[in-house]
Structure 1
Amino acid sequence: MHYLHTTLYVTDLDVSAAFLENWTGLKVTRSFALGDTRFVFLSGGEGETALELIQSPSHPAVHYDGLSLGFAVTDLDGERERAEAAGLNPSPIREPAPGVRFCFLSGPDGLTVQLMQKG
């Protein structure tokens, strides 16, 4: 068995896809529409698990309270400064154990991205 993708409904597909491309390194690999429902798949590369975003009239309001997507970064301080300059109001950097540091960014629909640096 191979983990293919995770699906998230969003209220604005373009805004959500742009946020994820800008802050996670994921790239749109395909997009299409079926009627008035739009789909976008993002991934880190060929064969990697994808994130599927769907904008649909059947889900006019969504909110991801408590859902967090985690991504490794090499320069947490720099990424946090970039997020702050972009007006995202990132959380303070936390260090729960030696060599593990992270902060959170709040995205569209309450989606949270965790940026983590180890080492």
Structure 2
Amino acid sequence: MFVKSRFLHTNLNVTDLERSIAFYEKALGLREEKRKEAADGSFTLAFLGDGETDYQLELTCLKGHPQPYELGENESHIAFRVADRAAAHALHQEMGCICFENEAMGLYFIEDPDGYWLEILD
């Protein structure tokens, strides 16, 4: 027996919500689709989408946590497929957010303002 499920979202904690939303919009074309504020003001959630799928990136900003998050060895990542790798690469180069490239595998990684790595694929 198993439970039928489907992906909904991935959560990343961020230190500056507006900076992160601006980064994801510019770097990957994601747009804020909804926002939730805690009743006590302790956190804000922003859900970003690609406009094509139901899958979302949930950005969580905890009001009492202004310091950078400890990401350990940062081996986890989220992968994005882009329609025009050359144009995406040029933009990411201009933004200064490319942190690793593997031309042989046809991929590279960008780093968001909080240090999360995002894989970019054709």
Normalising by structure 1, we get a TM-score of 0.80
Pairwise CA distance, 1:36: 3.4
| AA at the equivalent of 1:95 | A
CA separation of 1:45 and 1:78: change in aligned 2, threshold 3 A: closer
Partner of 1:95: 104
Normalising by structure 2, we get a TM-score of 0.78
Determine which of 59, 62, 81 is the counterpart of 1:56.
62
CA separation of 1:90 and 1:75: change in aligned 2, threshold 3 A: farther
CA separation of 1:81 and 1:45: change in aligned 2, threshold 3 A: closer
Secondary structure class of the residue paired with 2:100: coil
Is the 8 Å Cα contact of residues 69 and 112 (structure 1) preserved in structure 2?
A: yes
Determine which of 110, 118, 121 is the counterpart of 1:116.
121
Partner of 1:44: 50
| Alignment: residue pair count | 113
Aligned pairs for 1:63-82 within 5 A: 63-64=70-71, 65-82=74-91
Secondary structure class of the residue paired with 2:96: coil
Q: Deviations over 1:57-94 (max 9, x none)?
A: 35443144223211111222221122112232453342
Aligned CA RMSD, in angstroms, stands at 2.1
Secondary structure class of the residue paired with 1:114: strand
Higher strand share: 1
Partner of 1:21: 25
Partner of 2:9: 5
CA separation of 1:78 and 1:90: change in aligned 2, threshold 3 A: farther
Unaligned runs of 5+ in 2: none
Quote the sequence identity (%).
28
